[in-house]
Amino acid sequence: MIRTSTFSLAAALVSVLAAGPVAAAPLDIHFWHPSLGAVDEALQKQIGAFNASQSDYRVVSSGRGTYDETFNAMIAAYRAGKQPHLVTAIGQETLTLQLSGAVYPVQDLFKDAGLKLDVGRYLTPVANYYTSRDGKLMSLPFSTSTPILWFNKDAFAKAGLTRAPQTWEEVGEYAAKLKASGMACGYASAWQQWVHIDNFAFMHNVPVATRRNGVDGLDAEFVFDKGEVVRHLERVQAWARNGHYEYAGRLASSASNSFVSGRCGMITQSSAIFTTVRRGAKFAYGAAVMPMNLGATPGPSLIGGGSIWAIKGHKPTDYKGVAAFLAFLSSADVQAQWHKDTGYVPSTRDAYEKVKASGYYNEFPVQEIALQQLLRKPHKDSISVRLGSSIQYVAAIEDELENIWSGKKPAQQALDDAVKRGNEILRRFQRQNAAAK
């Protein structure tokens, strides 16, 4: 088997052709992914390119609804022994999948297929997010995103603001000025828990949970109900009280709407809404890195979005094709194109450099913001946030955050309750997975 030294498509294919079966009909590789609208076209483009580039394998993709629905369909299929080879799962399911024993770690997959996987190519926060405790890249980073601050330049000009806010203190002042200039709302946020707790804590190097946010063990406990996070939420609660901050609901689309419709002057939302903003906004828009507290050292933000997992239970020959496809997807060219087509972050440095060299960011500077944020030097203790039953604990925390926005509870009390409820969920997850380790 040929050892390839680079990750390029050609080299990957040479190795696959050398090792692959000599068969007339191509082998089908089943790939389940969520149906995400505009993004799907970009994905089909890449799958089509892979299928056209060689004749041994054919990737058969299937959109399975939302991320949750796709994940559930995969689990049900796995339990019935009918799992696909590949599935795109949302980042929050990382721990569940790592512990499941049902996945073929991509690092092993590449090694077994005779392909080299250079983890060093990946942006550090991206690699960290998907690397297991024993240092193995478990899934292929793909639809990577991270929150950034989007702002309405026209509204800023009307309110006499000339640049993006850099600190949270400024966000408060700007929101007040936008409101005073006649806007319905100054600032809104999508993914309240991801933005106001996970990312705020992560970027300020404040723990969300013990055991380095769960990276070091399943016995982690939430501890975000103190210090800076409480003061941050007290501050946003005050903005909510006087209408400078407007709660946009649990659905991310409703938050995007608040911004794109011109209702709110600023929004903290995923970098991946680029195409939505570009198509929908009838005003000049800009983006900036997430605000920090005055005087704080900014760390990289926490990523979100999806990654691609190889599922166990197929023939070894199939996995050669799986590896070839993943190698194709992780090539710098594909990553660069994917970034431009979708607004997701290119997961690798070489793809970023390629896009930068092409002058693309002169035309679309907002697309580079997330990268500037992710390329920062990481804080020592903020590697990732890796906790179980995330859908349940996020819902519990959202319940309590809503109590903050509505003013039903003081921030401290709501966060204490959120931590208490969250810890009950974590303990249950720990017991469910006690045997797995």
Partner 1 sequence: MKLKRAHFARARLTACLLLAPQLAVLALFVFLPGIEALVQAFLLSDPFGKHSQFVGFENFATVLASAQYHNAITRTLIFVFFTTLLSMSMGLALAVAVDHIRRGRGAYRLLAIWPYAVAPVIAGALWLFMFHPRYGALAFTLQRGFGMDWNPLLNGNHAMFLIVVASAWKQVSYNFVFFLAGLQGIPKSFIEAAAIDGAGPVRRFVTIVWPLLSPVTFFLVIVNLVYAFFDTFGVVHALTRGGPSGATDLLVYKVYADGFLGQDFGASAAQSVILMALVMVLTVVQFRFVENKVTYAS
The reply on whether position 400 binds partner 1 by CB under 8 A is yes
DSSP per residue over 378-427, as a string?
PPSS-S----SSHHHHHHHHHHHHHHHHTTSS-HHHHHHHHHHHHHHHHH
- Binder of partner 1 out of 19, 26, 58, 68 (CB under 8 A): 68
Q: Which whole-number Å values give the CA distances from 398 to 5, 202, 234, 332, in the listed order?
A: 47, 18, 16, 37
Of the candidates 92, 95, 89, 74, the one whose C-alpha atom is nearest the C-alpha of residue 140 is 89
Q: How far is the CB of 93 from partner 1 (least distance, A)?
A: 9
DSSP state of 71: H
389 binds partner 1, rule: CB under 8 A:
yes
Cβ proximity to partner 1, 89 vs 334, nearer residue: 89
Q: Report if residue 430 touches partner 1, rule: CB under 8 A.
A: no
Within 8 A by CB and 6+ apart from 151, the residues are: 164, 165, 265, 266, 267, 285, 286, 287, 288
Q: Kindly state the tokens that stand for 377.
A: 């030097």
Shortest spacing between CB 121 and partner 1, in angstroms: 30
**Nearest distance in Å: CB 100, partner 1:** 5
152 or 367: CB nearest partner 1:
152
**Residues that contact partner 1, how many (by CB under 8 A):** 41
Using the rule CB under 8 A, is 402 a contact of partner 1? yes
Q: Is the CB of 69 or the CB of 353 nearer to partner 1?
A: 69
Token pair 């979100």 in the structure block, residue: 304
From 99, 171, 327, 369, residue interacting with partner 1 (rule: CB under 8 A)? 99
Alpha helix (H) residue ranges in 164-293: 168-180, 192-193, 200-203, 210-213, 227-241, 252-260, 274-280
Pick 250 or 376: Cβ nearer partner 1: 250
Q: Write each residue from 219 to 258 as x if it is in contact with partner 1 (CB under 8 A), else as -, in one continuous string.
A: ----------------------------xxxxx--x--xx
Query: Length of the chain in residues, anyone?
Result: 437
Give whichever of 221 and 398 is closer to partner 1, judged by the CB atom. 398
Q: What is the binding site for partner 1 (CB under 8 A)?
A: 68, 72, 75, 78-79, 96, 99-102, 247-251, 254, 257-258, 261, 263, 389, 391-392, 395-396, 398-400, 402-403, 405-406, 408, 421, 428, 431-436
